[in-house]
């Protein structure tokens, strides 16, 4: 009865518009209170204890820093310089600007790890350029929104940090390494329908008046941005710093590039950057803390084991269960953001992962691929929401283009299921 009430309270609050974090925390606290009526107020002590426990994890310290890194590089002009360098290599021919968008988003993914931040940075530079070149704004917004979803796969990734906190046996370095190859595959897969659609519908024909940037000058300007992923990932691999320390190093590197090299960030801009990053970090960590209360109520009420037994005894078999989970999570991804999906479903799915002896690192990559898909799948689609706002179009106008990009990402998801080594080869090779 209390278990049913837990989900009913959560769903009702979600439907009436209560923020996801508050809905998780209030539903969990209600269930804990009802389960400890005899203990009077003492049972409710579990609420603040689990609120603190949800935050008291060392890897979570990296999240505010990587959010700050994304804001710093967004304002420093790195995205514009990376775009010019990519155009210098690829050119502006028919179908080439979408390739530039995806390539730059992949590079930005190695810096910030935040999809909406990359959608804002790349979209702010590229959507206007693509519109001048003859691409419909809805198409441009679709490509930017889909490309930005790669950021949670290519390290450093906030989603991987949260997953590693929730799942024993999936360390942050292992998850970072596991996401690299699938992230590159997603980027290549998105390029295929982007170029095909551009050429099929004769998009991007108005490029004659837009000159191609000189290669060496563009390389020199972009070199500081290109060096950021090498510093972050190379430093972790060399053992110079942990992922959490790498985030701090990246912050100081970004400030050095923005304030000393490019001089696009002034001292007066720091307050706005810190405030913007602090607000976003507070939202993420508050949801994480409140989800800890929800997860505690799930475990103490004994909900997880019956759900696990019902699924594994359903007669679907291992791959049938996996297909069911994919369909469920893709559908959920249309309405919830990635962090919420991790916090709500990982505690429920972990016993299933253990039952079938699935590698937790491999499953984390699968789950992150599904979350990436949800980031540009209407109606919520946080990345697509940002890019559509920049393009000045309604999200409904992008659906005809987004469906092709969704199909490309689903192909990569299928490949990772069939060939787990796509996710596991690099962490195994690196000894994680």
pLDDT surpasses 70 at 113? no
pLDDT surpasses 70 at 335? no
Residues 160-168: what's their mean pLDDT? 87
The answer as to whether 19 is a domain residue is no
| 222 in Cβ contact with 85 (< 8 Å) | yes
CA dihedral 175, 181, 187, 188 (to 10 degrees): -170
Q: What is the separation, in whole angstroms, between the first and last Cα of the chain?
A: 43
pLDDT surpasses 60 at 40? no
DSSP-assigned letter for residue 243: H
pLDDT digits (tens, 9 = 90+) for 347-371: 888 888 888 899 999 999 999 998 8
pLDDT surpasses 60 at 207? no
* Cα–Cα distance, 40 to 108 (Å, whole number): 52
DSSP-assigned letter for residue 313: T
The answer as to whether 221 is a domain residue is yes
Per-residue pLDDT band for 209 (boundaries 50, 70, 90) equals low
Number of domains in the chain: 1
In terms of Cα–Cα distance, which of 96, 80, 149, 95 is closest to 118?
A: 149
pLDDT the model gives residue 197: 92
Per-residue pLDDT band for 190 (boundaries 50, 70, 90) equals very high
In terms of Cα–Cα distance, which of 116, 82, 27, 413 is closest to 225?
A: 82
The answer as to whether 303 is a domain residue is yes
The answer as to whether 28 is a domain residue is no
Predicted model pTM: 0.82
Burial of residue 89 (number of CB atoms within 10 Å: 0-12, 13-18, 19+): middle
Q: What percent of the chain has pLDDT over 70?
A: 91
pLDDT the model gives residue 347: 82
pLDDT the model gives residue 427: 92
The answer as to whether 259 is a domain residue is yes
Mean pLDDT of the chain: 82
pLDDT digits (tens, 9 = 90+) for 73-83: 777 878 778 88
Higher pLDDT, 44 or 310: 310
pLDDT digits (tens, 9 = 90+) for 371-426: 888 888 877 677 888 888 888 888 888 888 999 999 999 999 999 999 999 999 99
Per-residue pLDDT band for 186 (boundaries 50, 70, 90) equals very high
The answer as to whether 35 is a domain residue is no
The DSSP H or E segment spanning 325 is helix 317-333
pLDDT surpasses 90 at 181? yes
Residue 386, domain extent: 59-429
pLDDT the model gives residue 7: 73
Per-residue pLDDT band for 208 (boundaries 50, 70, 90) equals very low
Q: How far is CA 258 from CA 79, 131, 254, 271, in A?
A: 12, 28, 6, 14
The answer as to whether 44 is a domain residue is no
Name the maximum alpha-carbon separation found in the chain. 77
pLDDT surpasses 90 at 122? no
| 312 in Cβ contact with 355 (< 8 Å) | yes
pLDDT the model gives residue 120: 77
| 273 in Cβ contact with 265 (< 8 Å) | yes
pLDDT digits (tens, 9 = 90+) for 291-327: 778 777 776 766 666 767 777 777 778 888 888 888 8
The answer as to whether 1 is a domain residue is no
Neighbours of 88 (CB within 10 A): 19
Q: 233 by DSSP, 3-state: which? A: helix
């Amino acid at each position: 009865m209390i278990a049913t009430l837990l989900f009913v309270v959560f769903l009702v609050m979600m439907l009436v518009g209560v923020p996801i974090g508050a809905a998780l925390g209030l539903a969990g606290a209600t269930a804990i209170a009802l389960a400890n009526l005899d203990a009077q107020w003492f049972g409710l002590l579990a609420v603040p204890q689990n609120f603190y426990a949800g935050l008291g994890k060392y890897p979570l310290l990296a999240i505010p820093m990587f959010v700050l890194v994304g804001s710093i590089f967004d304002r420093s002009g790195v995205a514009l310089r990376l775009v010019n360098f990519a155009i210098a290599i690829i050119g502006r021919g028919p179908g080439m600007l979408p390739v530039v968008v995806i390539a730059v988003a992949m590079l930005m993914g190695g810096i910030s790890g935040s999809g909406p931040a990359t959608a804002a940075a790349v979209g702010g530079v590229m959507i206007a350029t693509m519109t001048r070149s003859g691409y419909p704004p809805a198409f441009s917004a679709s490509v930017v929104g889909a490309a930005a979803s790669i950021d949670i796969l290519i390290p450093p990734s906030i989603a991987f940090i949260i997953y590693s906190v929730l799942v024993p046996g999936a360390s942050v370095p292992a998850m970072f390494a596991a996401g690299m190859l699938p992230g590159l595959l997603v980027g290549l897969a998105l390029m295929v329908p982007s170029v095909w659609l551009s050429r099929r519908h004769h998009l991007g024909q108005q490029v004659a008046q837009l000159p191609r940037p000189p290669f060496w000058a563009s390389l020199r300007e972009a070199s500081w941005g290109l060096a950021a992923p090498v510093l972050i990932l190379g430093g972790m691999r060399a053992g110079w710093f942990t992922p959490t320390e790498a985030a701090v190093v990246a912050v100081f590197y970004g400030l050095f590039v923005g304030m000393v090299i490019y001089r696009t960030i002034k001292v007066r801009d720091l307050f706005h950057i810190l405030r913007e990053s602090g607000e976003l970090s507070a939202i993420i960590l508050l949801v994480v803390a409140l989800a800890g209360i929800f997860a505690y109520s799930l475990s103490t009420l004994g909900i997880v084991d019956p759900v696990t037994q019902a699924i594994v005894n359903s007669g679907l078999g291992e791959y049938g269960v996996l297909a069911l989970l994919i369909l469920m999570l893709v559908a959920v991804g249309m309405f919830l953001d990635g962090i919420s999906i991790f916090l709500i479903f990982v505690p429920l799915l972990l016993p299933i992962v253990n039952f079938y002896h699935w590698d937790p690192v491999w499953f984390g990559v699968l789950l992150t691929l599904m979350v990436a898909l949800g980031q540009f799948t209407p109606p919520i689609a946080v990345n697509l929401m940002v890019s559509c706002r920049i393009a000045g179009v309604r999200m409904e106008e992008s659906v005809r283009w987004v469906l092709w990009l969704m199909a490309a990402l689903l192909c990569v998801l299928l490949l990772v299921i069939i060939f787990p080594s796509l996710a596991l080869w690099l962490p195994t090779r690196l000894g994680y």
